[in-house]
Amino acid sequence: MPSDLYAQALTRLDDAAEHSKAHPETVQRLRQPKQLLEVSIPLRMDDGSLRIFTGYRSRHDDARGPAKGGIRFHQSVTKNEVKSLAFWMTFKCAVAGLPFGGGKGGVIVNPKELSLAEIERLSRAYVRAVGRNIGPDTDVPAPDVYTNAQIMAWMMDEFSVMVGKRTPAVITGKPVALGGSLGRDDATGRGAYYQLKELESIRDLEPAKTTIAIQGFGNAGQHFASLAHADGYKVVAVSDSRGGVHDPEGLDIPTILEIKQSKGRVDGGKETEITNEMLLELDVDVLVPAALEGVITEDNAKDIKAKIVIELANGPTTPAADAILEKARTMVVPDILANSGGVTVSYFEWTQNREGWYWKLETVHERLAEIMKREFRAVYDKHESRSISMRTAAYALALDRLADAHEATGTKSDFAR
Residue 399, domain member (yes or no): no
pTM of the model: 0.93
Q: Which of 311, 338, 365 is the last residue of a domain?
A: 338
What amino acid positions are annotated as catalytic residues?
A: 104
Same domain, 262 and 301: yes
Res 77: pLDDT: 95
Domain boundary among 315, 338, 361: 338
Residue 395 belongs to some domain of the structure: no
**DSSP category for residue 122:** H
Q: Does residue 61 sit within a domain?
A: yes
Instruction: Kindly state whether residues 230 and 289 are assigned to the same domain.
Output: yes
Residue 224 in domain = yes
d(CA 414, CA 155): 43
Q: Do 164 and 191 share a structural domain? A: no
Show the domain range for 69: 33-170
Question: Is 406 a member of any domain?
Answer: no
CATH number of the domain residue 156 falls in: 3.40.50.10860
On whether residue 3 sits in a domain, the answer given is no
Of the three residues 170, 203, 231, the one that is the final residue of a domain is 170
Beta bridge partners of 296: 317
Q: Are residues 88 and 126 in the same domain?
A: yes
- Give whole-number Cα distances, 403 to 36, 64, 400, 409, in Å: 22, 10, 5, 10
Residue spans of the chain under pLDDT 50: 1
User: Mapping DSSP to helix (H, G, I), strand (E, B) and coil, where does residue 231 land?
Assistant: coil
| pLDDT of 263 | 86
Residue 64 lies in a domain: yes
On whether both 142 and 72 belong to a single domain, the answer is yes
Q: Are 330 and 192 contained in the same domain? A: yes
> Are 101 and 210 in the same domain?
no
User: Please, are residues 345 and 364 in contact by the beta-carbon 8 Å criterion?
Assistant: yes
Domain count within the chain: 2
150 and 203 belong to one structural domain? no
CATH number for the domain harbouring residue 310: 3.40.50.720
**Residue 142 falls inside a structural domain:** yes
Q: For residue range 82-137, list pLDDT tens digits in order.
A: 999 999 999 999 999 999 999 999 999 999 999 999 999 999 999 999 999 999 99
Say if residue 196 is in the same domain as residue 320.
yes
Q: Please report, in angstroms and rounded to a whole number, the separation of the first and last CA atoms in the chain.
A: 46
Contact 181, 360 (CB under 8 A): no
151 and 81 assigned to the same domain: yes
